[in-house]
Structure 1
C-alpha cells in the first residue's frame, strides 16, 4: 500500500514540474516580438561624406634678414596688424652708408684716372715733332749726299791733275813747286771727301734714329690702351661693388608686402643677425582656406566647385565652401586602426563669413557629391547588407517580418535614397539586427 502511494506522489510531482515548461512553450509560440517601425518618406537628400580638416593660409609671407647686420629691437608681436609698405625692421645703417660712400669714391677715382689716361696731347705733339724731325733729317741727308758727290768730283779732278803733273814733272816740264801745290790740293780734296762721307754716315744714323721716334710714340700709345683696358676692368669691379653696396643698403628697408597680421615672431632683434635669419611670418586672413586629406576613392567623386559644408565646432553654424583644387599627388597614411590608406589633399575655399576662424583651426568638412530634391528616403540604420554586397530591409507584413531587397541611390552619414524595392506605404523595422528572423511574428510601434 505504501509503495503505491509513493509511486502516485512521484507521478503527481512530475506532472507539476511539466506545467511551467508547457506554459513557457505556449507563451513563446504565441507571443509577438515588439519592434519599432518607420516608413520611407520623400524629401531632399544630399550625398555627402565627412572628413576632418584644418584651416591654413593659401599664401604666407616670411620676413627674414636680407643682409647681415645689426637689427634694432622688433616691436611687432603676433596678432598685430600691419599695412602694406609698413617698415617692419630697423637696421643700423651706418656701416651700409659708409660702404656706399667708399665704393662711390673708388669709382670716381678710377673715372678720373681714365680721363687723365685718355689725355694724349703730349704724345700727339711728340708724334708731330718726330715726323717733322724725320722730314728735316731726310733733307739734311739729301744735302749731305750732294756734298759727298761734290767733294768726290773735286777729288777726282784733283787726282787727275796730280797724275798729269806727275808725268810733266817726269819730263821736267814743270818745276817741283808746281808739283807740290797740285799734290797738296789732291790730298786736301781727298780729306774733305772722307770728311763728307763721315758726315753722310752720321746723317744716315740720325735719319734711322729719327724714324724710330714715331714708332716709340705709337708703341707708347698702344701700351696706354692696354693700361686703359686694365683701368676699365678695375672701374667695372668698383662699379659692381658700388651696385652691391647700394643694393644692400636698399635691402635694409624691410617693409610689409601685404596688409594683414603678424602670425609668428621668431626674433626679438637688438642683435647682429646673419642674412636669411627668419624674423616674422605675415599673412592675410582673407587668404584663409581649408585643407582636408580625403580617401582617393572619395576624391574621384569630387571636382573643382563641389559644394562643401564646413563645421568649425558643435555649437557653431556651418560655413559654406567649395572645392578649390585637388592636389595631383596622393600619399599613404595610417588610419586610427593602423590600416594604410591612400589619401590626397583637397583644398576648400570659403564661400561664407569666416571671420571667427584663424590659422590652424580644426573643422569638419562635409563634401556634397550629389543632391535630389524629391527622393524616397530611409534612415541609414534601417538598411542591412548581405554578404554578396546587396542591401535589404525587414518589412512588416501582416504582423510578420519579411526580407525586402532594395536598391540604393544617394547616401550620406544618416540617410539613404531608395531607388527601388520600397514605397512610402511600406512599414519597415527602424533598427533591425541579425537576431531578427524572417517570418517571426512582431508587434510594431511606429516611431
Structure 2
C-alpha cells in the first residue's frame, strides 16, 4: 500500500514539474495581438417604435354613434367613412331647421308685399284731392247762399218801405218775406254743409299718413321676421354642419391602430372612437442619459436590434438620428435612481420602411434595442477594453507581453466602446496585450502567454 501511495505522489510531483517547465517559470496568461480594425463609439439604450402623428377620430358632438365595423389592423383610404352618427337623428334635425327657414321666408314675402297698401295710399291721395275740390265747391255754395240772403234781406226792406207808399202790395211783401226766409234757410244749410265737409276733409287728409304708418309697421314686422330668419339660418347651418360631420372619414391612407367603441351607443362630444396611423411614417424613440445625449447629433448613424428582430448588435436594422429634443426630463430608474434623460428620435430609410414592416412585423409601441453611433474610424489600433486599467494617478495602462515577461505601458486612448478601445500611443501593432490582467501581476513578471484571436466588431 505504501508503495502505491509513493508511486501516486511521484506522478503528481512529475506533473507539477512538467507544468512548471511548460510555463517557462511563470503563470499562464491570455494575450491578444494589437491589430488595425474599425472601431465605433456608440450609445446603447432601450427604445420603442412610435408614429410622429396619430389621427384620432372622435365624436364631433353629443349624439348616438352607430356600430363601427372596422377592426384594428384594417387599412383605410383617405376620405373613407370610418364611423357615423345615427343618420335619422341628424337628418330630422336638419329637416326641421330647413322647414323653419322656409316658413320665415314665406312670411317675409307675404309681409313685405305692399301692393295693396300702395294702391290704398294712392286712392287716399286721390280722395284727399277730391275733398279739396268739394270743400271749395261747398265754400262757393255757401258764399252764394250768403249773397242771396243779403239780397233777400235788402229786397224785403225795400218792399216794406214801398208798401207804406202804396207802391207794393201785401202780396209783394209776403213773397219778399218768403224769399228772405228761404235764402236764410239755404245759407244755414250751406254753412252747415261746408263745416261738415271741412271736418270730413280734415279726416280725409289723415288717410295717407295712416296708410304710410301701416306700411312702416309692416316694415318693422319684416325686420323682426328677417332677424328670426337669420337665427333660423344659423340653426340650419349648425344642423348642416352636424349632418356633414355625422359621417367621420379617415384623413389619410393608413391603418386602424385602436378601436375604442364597438356597438351603437350614446356618446359625448370628444369621445375617442378610432386611432389611425400611417405605418410608413414609423420611427423609433429612445430616452438617452443626458451626458450621453450631448454626443448625439442629428444625422448620426444608428440601428435597432434584439431577439425580436433576429438581429445582433452591429448587424441591426439601420436608422438615422432625426432629432435630439432640446429639453430633458427626470426619470426614476428601476433601481430607484433619479436620472436626467433626453428623448432622441430616429427614422428609417424611406425606401426600406415597407420591407422592414413586412419582414419584421414591427408595430407601434414595440420595444427594441437601440444603438446610436457617435463616432467612427474605419481603421485604428484596437485592443479589448478588458485589457486596460487605471493607475493611482488615473492614467490608462495595460500589460504587454514580450519574451515571456510583462511590460506595463501607459496609454493614450481614442475611441472607446463596451468591448474595444483605440490605442493612439503606448502600444505598437503586433504586440501582445494581456486580456483581463490580474491585480497580482507586476511590471517585469515572468509569464507563460496563451494567444487568443481578436474578432472583428
In structure 2, runs of 5+ residues without a counterpart are 1-19, 453-457
- Give distance in 1, aligned partners of 2:371 and 2:336: 24
How far does residue 371 in structure 1 lie from its aligned partner after superposition? Answer: 1.4
TM-score (norm 1): 0.81
- Checking the alignment, whether the CA contact within 8 Å between 2:406 and 2:442 is kept in structure 1 is yes
Equivalent position of 2:291 in the other structure: 297
How far does residue 33 in structure 1 lie from its aligned partner after superposition? Answer: 4.2
- The counterpart of 1:208, out of the listed 158, 183, 202, is 202
User: CA deviation digits over 1:139-176, x for unaligned, max 9?
Assistant: 1122223333333444445556667778x589979779
- Give distance in 1, aligned partners of 2:392 and 2:163: 165
User: CA deviation digits over 1:79-118, x for unaligned, max 9?
Assistant: 3343444443365433333333333322222222222222
- Give distance in 1, aligned partners of 2:449 and 2:35: 18
How far does residue 308 in structure 1 lie from its aligned partner after superposition? Answer: 0.7
RMSD: 3.2
How far does residue 358 in structure 1 lie from its aligned partner after superposition? Answer: 1.7
- Give distance in 1, aligned partners of 2:308 and 2:220: 82
Alignment partner of 1:112 is 2:106: yes
Task: Specify whether residues 314 and 35 from structure 1 end up closer, same or farther in structure 2 by C-alpha distance, changes over 3 A only.
Answer: farther
Secondary structure class of the residue paired with 2:320: strand
1:173-184 alignment runs, 5 A limit: 177=170
1:324-363 alignment runs, 5 A limit: 324-351=322-349, 352=352, 353-355=355-357, 356=360, 357-363=362-368
Equivalent position of 1:367 in the other structure: 372
Higher mean alpha-carbon deviation, 327-336 vs 72-81, is at: 72-81
Equivalent position of 1:102 in the other structure: 96
- Give distance in 2, aligned partners of 1:314 and 1:237: 62
User: CA deviation digits over 1:341-381, x for unaligned, max 9?
Assistant: 21121111112432221222111111111211122222222
- The counterpart of 2:214, out of the listed 216, 220, 224, is 220
- Give distance in 2, aligned partners of 1:41 and 1:383: 16
TM-score (norm 2): 0.80
- Give distance in 1, aligned partners of 2:395 and 2:196: 128
How far does residue 219 in structure 1 lie from its aligned partner after superposition? Answer: 1.1
1:58-207 alignment runs, 5 A limit: 58-89=52-83, 91-158=85-152, 168=161, 177=170, 185=179, 188-207=182-201
How far does residue 230 in structure 1 lie from its aligned partner after superposition? Answer: 1.8
User: CA deviation digits over 1:107-133, x for unaligned, max 9?
Assistant: 222222222222211111101101101
- Checking the alignment, whether the CA contact within 8 Å between 1:56 and 1:290 is kept in structure 2 is yes
- Give distance in 2, aligned partners of 1:333 and 1:377: 36
- Give distance in 1, aligned partners of 2:328 and 2:94: 51
- Checking the alignment, whether the CA contact within 8 Å between 1:169 and 1:179 is kept in structure 2 is no
In structure 1, runs of 5+ residues without a counterpart are 1-26
User: CA deviation digits over 1:386-417, x for unaligned, max 9?
Assistant: 56654332344665544433232222222222
Higher mean alpha-carbon deviation, 86-95 vs 154-163, is at: 154-163
